[in-house]
Copies of this chain bind each other. A is one copy, B any other.
Amino acid sequence: MVLETVPLAHYLFTRLRSLGADSIFGLPGDYNLRLLDHVEPAGLQWIGNCNELNAGYAADGYSRIKGIGALITTFGVGELSAVNAIAGAYSERAPVVHIVGTPPRAIQESRTCVHHTFKDGDFKHFDRIQEHVTVAHTVIKDCLSAPIEIDRVLQQCLLHSRPVRITIPDDMPGLDVDGARLRDSLVLPSVISQNSEAEALEAVLGRIYSSEKPLLLVDGESRFMGILDEVMSFVQRTDWPTFTTGFGKGLIDESIPNVHGVYKPCHKTLVDSCDLVIVFGPHYSTSNTYLGQTIPGKDVSIHVMPDSIKTNDNVFRDILAKHFLQRLLAVLDFAKISKHSLNLAITSENLTTTRTKDQEVTQRNGLWQRLSSFLQEGDIVLAETGTAGYAANDFILPRHARLFRPVTWLSIGYMLPAALGTSLSQRDMIHRGQYHRLSSARTVLLIGDGSFQQTAQELSTIIHHKLNVVVFLLNNDGYTIERCIHGRNQGYNGITHWRYLRAPAFFGAPEKGDYASHTWMVRTFGDLEAALTDENMVYGKGLRMVEIQLDRLDAPDQLLGWLDKQISKEQNV
């Protein structure tokens, strides 16, 4: 039998493409150049980044929207630069494929002391380092097993929605591998209906029918569990009061009346009075649960997890959540369930505050409400760790909007390259006709000055690819969130002073034409209004950037509470 062959790299990139990666991020290096030759022939767009950490962040952002994201780096120096991004994807479950070009096999086998090594002839250090941040990895060494190995790790990536790593020696990208496998698309293991599923269903139905005051809580792991449609039906058909966590916010439509936004400590009494809380895709880190305050009581809650259903007295294992929810929706008698609603008419007390044109913008007197009303259908909103991330829980998101905010990893600098990733994913999905029937969409980034400085250069990639991105830079002269926590007057919470609004021009934005970038400086509400309604903002394309000048210690209420504690501690010393 004569095999139908394709080059190894072509095999990999074709697989990625068919899983939904239309663009791929990364940087060249002398161990991956031959690999890169195959990117565009396989129909993928190459997005060259400024550095590898940024490439990792961008791939992560892309993957959370499109269901897969990939980056290519070079051996040692490149891959290790990206480790923190991969760790974040691991922590918060983003399906990122990290592809690394390594030295040719002959060099590795002869233990030659080449560059990008520790000069000890050991080529496995970087594999061992990255085992901690991947659910699977493969070190490609021969053409026979390569396609099988590639398929295996890609499956693991999708199954766990966590990063995997594939290393390819520089002598291999062009070698022939079995291409016939490509005829079958990559599928995940299918569901085995376990007895446990029926048992779980029975238990859950019992709890539902007996509940008088039920509640739904949508958390962020619902995304990769692929259950958002089922959850949405459940929310609509039960009409039960529904909250999300910060991680879950934006995953279900907030515009329907029984969806009340993020469950915050102020809602605790209400939630505690419920006798059933069904939690979809729980992700209980302290930073996603207001330091644990918003974890529902064990005895009232049912957890719908990626591969199990957890009630207070049982864990039903090996259950695929999607399948379970479909059956639940099919058998549940909606006529038999309790109805009740929460009295949450006024979600935000400040909404009615009136502001004059000359009044300075602050985080407490209406900045966030005004920005919230700026958001549009289909927007992807990224609010960076810092004061912005806190505030974003209060946004009222339009339909089909998605929100990225601090969840568990909280690495500052993530959101800017992630915005590159999400904006590209919007463009790629619009090209495929898969973005909510919209023909254009924005990515909106809200970021503190400190976080901006971490990865600012990736703005140049956003500019270069003419992406539709609006940046709100909160200039409060340093690390305000840290000042609230500790060391409010300490020098280490300060940063250097940049002339932020010069960023677009420095990073190469055109001076004229459709993609000329526009910038605005905001101090007062009049400035803010002018910026948000300017026609270049409203109808502009490409990058738009707004700098909002805020006081050093201006922060959302919760953070100000910490600050007050700090001050009273100092006074008691």
Given contacts A28-B492, A496-B508, contact A113 B457 (CB under 8 A): no
A410 to B112, CA, bound (A): 16
| Residue of A76, A133, A487 most packed against chain B (CB within 10 A) | A76
| Residue of A84, A113, A133, A498 most packed against chain B (CB within 10 A) | A84
Question: Is B33 in contact with A486, judged by CB distance below 8 angstroms?
Answer: yes
Q: Which residues of B contact A12 (CB under 8 A)?
A: none
Does A435 sit at the interface, judged by CB under 8 A? Answer: no
Question: Is B498 in contact with A410, judged by CB distance below 8 angstroms?
Answer: no
Question: Is A494 in contact with B48, judged by CB distance below 8 angstroms?
Answer: yes
Interface string of A455-474 (1 = CB under 8 A from B): 11100110110000000000
Contact of A53 among B81, B284, B406, B461 (CB under 8 A): B81
A149 to B464, CA, bound (A): 50
Does A183 sit at the interface, judged by CB under 8 A? Answer: no
Given contacts A287-B114, A505-B499, contact A30 B464 (CB under 8 A): no
List the one stretch of A35-43, A200-208, A336-344, A540-548 in contact with chain B. A35-43
Question: Is A284 in contact with B486, judged by CB distance below 8 angstroms?
Answer: no
Q: Which residues of B contact A413 (CB under 8 A)?
A: 51
Q: Which residues of B contact A133 (CB under 8 A)?
A: 129
CB distance from A31 to the nearest CB of B (A): 10
Interface string of A130-144 (1 = CB under 8 A from B): 001100000000000
CB distance from A206 to the nearest CB of B (A): 30
Interface residues of A in 92-137 (CB under 8 A from B): 112-119, 125, 128-129, 132-133
Question: Mind listing 24 A-B residue pairs with CB under 8 Å?
Answer: A30-B482, A33-B485, A40-B491, A48-B495, A50-B495, A51-B455, A53-B53, A76-B409, A77-B410, A80-B83, A81-B411, A83-B83, A90-B118, A112-B286, A113-B286, A114-B286, A115-B408, A116-B408, A116-B409, A119-B284, A129-B129, A461-B496, A464-B496, A498-B507
A-B contact sample (20 more), CB < 8 A, given A453-B457, A453-B460: A29-B482, A30-B482, A30-B486, A34-B486, A48-B491, A51-B453, A76-B87, A76-B409, A77-B409, A91-B117, A114-B286, A115-B406, A115-B409, A115-B410, A116-B411, A117-B285, A119-B285, A125-B132, A496-B507, A496-B508
